[in-house]
């Protein structure tokens, strides 16, 4: 799957993992990541400090998986950083929407004290199946 047009237009700046975060992810044994991909965000009654979202948005973004967490672009400074030690089948739904679409959905209050509502993140990437397999494997090890 080609990188988003916005990624190409902005010379690889849109949808790129911030350098500080990249360093943290690499120190946590980065397993899988993809940048400059289309990320679909679906919110239902989502509330974060100073922000309210309901609806669907497509943006250029990234997704990453380490030994410790699942990280993705969010919207308006609300990135998603989900620690694997807090993920269970009860609080995170994930899988494939399409062959090239990895999704995960959750109630924000399960992971964040200052957020509420439901969020669904869709990563449109050729690595979608690999995200599911690797996340399955990491969660099974616990």
| 127-136 tens-digit pLDDT | 999 999 999 9
Q: Yes or no: say if 61 and 39 are a contact pair by the CB < 8 Å rule.
A: yes
User: Two tokens at 10?
Assistant: 């902005």
Closest CA to 95 of 42, 48, 137, 135: 135
User: Domain ranges in the chain?
Assistant: 5-141
The 3-state DSSP composition of the chain as helix, strand, coil percent (nearest 5) reads 25, 45, 30
Q: How much is the pLDDT for 84?
A: 95
Cα distance between residue 104 and residue 110, in whole Å: 14
> Residue 53 belongs to what H/E stretch?
strand 51-66
H runs (alpha helix) in 39-122: none
Which CATH code of 3.40.50.300, 2.30.29.30, 2.60.40.10, 1.10.10.10 fits the domain covering 5-141?
A: 2.30.29.30
Joined tokens for residue 113: 């004290």
pLDDT digits (tens, 9 = 90+) for 111-121: 999 999 999 99
User: What is the model's pTM?
Assistant: 0.87
């Amino acid at each position: 799957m080609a990188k988003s047009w916005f990624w190409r237009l902005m010379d690889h700046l849109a949808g790129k993992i911030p350098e500080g975060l990249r360093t943290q992810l690499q120190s946590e044994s980065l397993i899988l990541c993809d940048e400059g991909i289309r990320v679909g965000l679906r919110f239902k009654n989502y509330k974060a400090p100073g922000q309210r979202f309901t609806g669907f948005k497509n943006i250029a973004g990234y997704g990453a998986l380490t030994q410790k967490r699942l990280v993705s672009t969010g919207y308006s400074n609300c990135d998603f950083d989900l620690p694997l030690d807090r993920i269970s089948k009860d609080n995170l739904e994930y899988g494939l929407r399409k062959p090239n679409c990895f999704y995960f959905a959750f109630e924000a209050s399960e992971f964040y004290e200052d957020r509420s509502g439901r969020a669904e993140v869709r990563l449109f990437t050729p690595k979608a199946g690999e995200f599911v397999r690797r996340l399955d494997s990491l969660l099974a090890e616990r």
